[in-house]
Amino acid sequence: MPAAVPLKSQGRSAAHRSFERLCGLVAGDLEEVNRTIVDRLQSPVELIPQLAGRLVASGGKRLRPILTLATARMCGYEGARHVRLAACVELIHTATLLHDDVVDDSALRRGAATANAVWGNKPSVLVGDFLFSRSFQLMVEDGSLEVLRILSDASAAIARGEVDQLLISNDVSTGAGAYMDVIRAKTATLFAAASEIGAVVSGRPAAEQTALRTYGMGLGTAFQLVDDVLDYSARQADLGKTVGDDFRDGKITLPIVLAIERGDDEERAFWRRALESEDRRDGDLEHAMTLLARRDALGAAMAETHRHGDEARRAMEAFPAGAYRDALLDLVDFCVEREF
Amino acid sequence: MPAAVPLKSQGRSAAHRSFERLCGLVAGDLEEVNRTIVDRLQSPVELIPQLAGRLVASGGKRLRPILTLATARMCGYEGARHVRLAACVELIHTATLLHDDVVDDSALRRGAATANAVWGNKPSVLVGDFLFSRSFQLMVEDGSLEVLRILSDASAAIARGEVDQLLISNDVSTGAGAYMDVIRAKTATLFAAASEIGAVVSGRPAAEQTALRTYGMGLGTAFQLVDDVLDYSARQADLGKTVGDDFRDGKITLPIVLAIERGDDEERAFWRRALESEDRRDGDLEHAMTLLARRDALGAAMAETHRHGDEARRAMEAFPAGAYRDALLDLVDFCVEREF
């Protein structure tokens, strides 16, 4: 049941309501996750809880820990380990956010007050390392080598994907396949790991573990693609949000890859100048949006998004109906249709 | 048997010869460690082996993996796990080096071509994350939760120590206790972990595990203190090496802490101006070296170094004499008396 028209506003509120339902289901567990994180970030070195707390309390959607909590509950888990493991997932995510905000000397961008803008690069890096290590300490306390395997694999994939993304930035010859590889590694893998852990902690059979991994992979991929599309969405502009950050950063995302593939020589010359040569001029963003519309690149990217959303939904067929499964299915709609 | 006169040149060659003896004992194992590392850094993302290989091949002394190899052999270990675990230790060390070189926007210092100077901050951060994750993946393959505990604890301590060091930099009120806490966390902990693992992999009793931990802690602390002293050593200048890098960075190290504690008001005003206010002038380094000599700060720091070296040596009494134990004892002399 993917929405026929992407990004329309009735869709938003319905999807938003179902996300709130999911949040309601795991609210108690999520509070425990928050407590665990705050607890584990106590340190005589004040900068650590300060810097980390800023991110943890920043009002993110907490999708990744919610995935661990909800999949564990769906699998009938009744213990308390899933809380600690959801905290591990969130700590890794927070560490990658901190590290992602570290900028190259050569390319200080964006005006937003990221942690590194406030404290400098080095504290962001080191506190990120601390969160990352804390996450592994927590996993060791939990004692499951399987979870350690899943999350160390995910961490390596994220780092690999981020390096890869750096290398394709400004490269207009990037193909859709290469781009999809990057977002699978840097974004979808942690969604997959977070979901898979729900089956592992519940001692469910391998088939269910795989199903949850597939679900998370589809969901995470769709999530990232929507992110990419939203950056060029007129609806975003209506909502008073910034449009074109990715463009201003010279970022190659799926809509751009598709517009370049479908464009003529003149269009390709434009993309090359604006993204590869970093020679961006007044009116370029508007022209980029015109070309994206002309080649239906946002529509095609949304079609790809729906394909991954459908994959996530299909993976859920391995589980019997119930409140958690329904909520996890609704979460796919939410991720696909969200406008923020 | 600490050398009576620190940093004298006969001492150097004797200590250097014994270090070469130790390297000879573990040469075969160390080659396997190198192979394991190169193997595990294969990646379709070329920047990763490039950047990491640059560090791994940079001709460091490889003290930390050598500790794991030699302690395991001393404990009678005859398997192959110690090679993989020594690689884990080195990967963590290399990751921290990469992250340590990331600079604050506000304070780009030193002229050396660190990885981040060549590639920018962001690749250094991300490749560091990759090495770190790879290390945990390798530990998971090894399958010892005890090793995972030891190295995740060490990683958290390193990150905590590095943040702490950032906070005391330029703070002339830093006491010796606070400073020793920092170097224990950021440097000695990994030496301790690397050594402890030798007993763990050999299945030796807790007392031996603790003894090796104590050995590594003493050794690592002495190693860092010598580093601090060498930065102000006249002998370094004789050898054509840079002197005063720490001073130029406004770094607070034990010699400085002691000179400030022992100095009069006028001296303290100098240190405050030069290190806290970052108002450094021509001739300041020379004046700093005069004050360090007047207050015997380098001698006192070396006395502290010997105290930690002696602790390391005492810990070795838990083990019977033999080639590996002798070499590990000699390693203490090497670390205390080294001039590079």
Instruction: For residue A151, tell me if it sits in a domain.
Output: yes
Instruction: For residue A219, tell me if it sits in a domain.
Output: yes
Q: How confident is the model at residue B250 (pLDDT cuts 50, 70, 90)?
A: confident
Instruction: For residue B53, tell me if it sits in a domain.
Output: yes
Residue B96 has pLDDT above 60, yes or no: yes
* CA–CA separation, B102 and B23 (whole Å): 31
pLDDT digits (tens, 9 = 90+) for B212-224: 999 999 999 999 9
A77: domain CATH number is 1.10.600.10
Q: Which residue has the tokens 């926007």?
A: B105
Q: Nearest-CA residue of chain A relative to B159?
A: A130
Segment A76-96 mean pLDDT: 96
Using only C-alpha atoms, what is the Rg of chain B?
20
C-alpha distances in Å from residue A65, one per residue of A11, A310, B232, B299:
25, 22, 50, 53
pLDDT, residue B265, reads 96
- Out of A43, A103, A130, whose CB is closest to B121? A103
**A314: Cβ–Cβ under 8 A, 6 or more apart, which residues?**
none
Instruction: For residue A303, tell me if it sits in a domain.
Output: yes
- Out of B127, B145, B163, whose CB is closest to A123? B163
Tokens of A228: 């990419």
Q: Nearest-CA residue of chain A relative to B46?
A: A164
Average pLDDT value over all residues in chain A: 88
Q: Which residue has the tokens 């690397």?
A: B194
Q: How confident is the model at residue A12 (pLDDT cuts 50, 70, 90)?
A: low
pLDDT, residue B104, reads 64
How does DSSP assign A245-266, residue by residue? HHHHTT---HHHHHHHHHS-HH
Q: Any idea how long chain B is? A: 340
Q: How confident is the model at residue A226 (pLDDT cuts 50, 70, 90)?
A: very high
pLDDT, residue A240, reads 67
Task: Note down the domain range covering B145.
Answer: 9-337
All residues of chain B having their beta carbon less than 8 Å from the beta carbon of residue A133 are: 152, 155-156, 158-159
Q: Is A39 on the interface with B (CB under 8 A)?
A: no
Instruction: For residue A325, tell me if it sits in a domain.
Output: yes
Q: How confident is the model at residue A59 (pLDDT cuts 50, 70, 90)?
A: low
Most confident range (mean pLDDT) of A238-252, A271-285, B4-18, B81-95 is: B81-95
pLDDT above 70 covers what percent of chain A?
88
Instruction: For residue B2, tell me if it sits in a domain.
Output: no
What ipTM, to 2 d.p.? 0.91
CA distance to partner chain B, nearest, from residue A195 (Å): 19
3-state secondary structure of B134: helix
Tokens of B106: 């506000």
All residues of chain A having their beta carbon less than 8 Å from the beta carbon of residue B153 are: 137
Q: Nearest-CA residue of chain A relative to B95?
A: A129
* CA–CA separation, A214 and A55 (whole Å): 28
Residue type at A13 in one-letter notation:
S
pLDDT digits (tens, 9 = 90+) for B135-157: 999 999 999 999 999 999 999 99
Q: Is A167 on the interface with B (CB under 8 A)?
A: yes
Q: Is B193 on the interface with A (CB under 8 A)?
A: no
How many domains would you assign to chain A? 1
Instruction: For residue B79, tell me if it sits in a domain.
Output: yes
Instruction: For residue A3, tell me if it sits in a domain.
Output: no
Closest residue by Cα to residue B244 from B230, B223, B262:
B230
C-alpha count within 13 angstroms, C-beta hemisphere, residue A199 = 21
What is the pTM (predicted TM-score) of this model?
A: 0.91
Q: Nearest-CA residue of chain A relative to B106?
A: A120
All residues of chain A having their beta carbon less than 8 Å from the beta carbon of residue B99 are: 125-126, 129
pLDDT, residue B327, reads 95
Do the Cβ atoms of A149 and B134 come within 8 Å? no
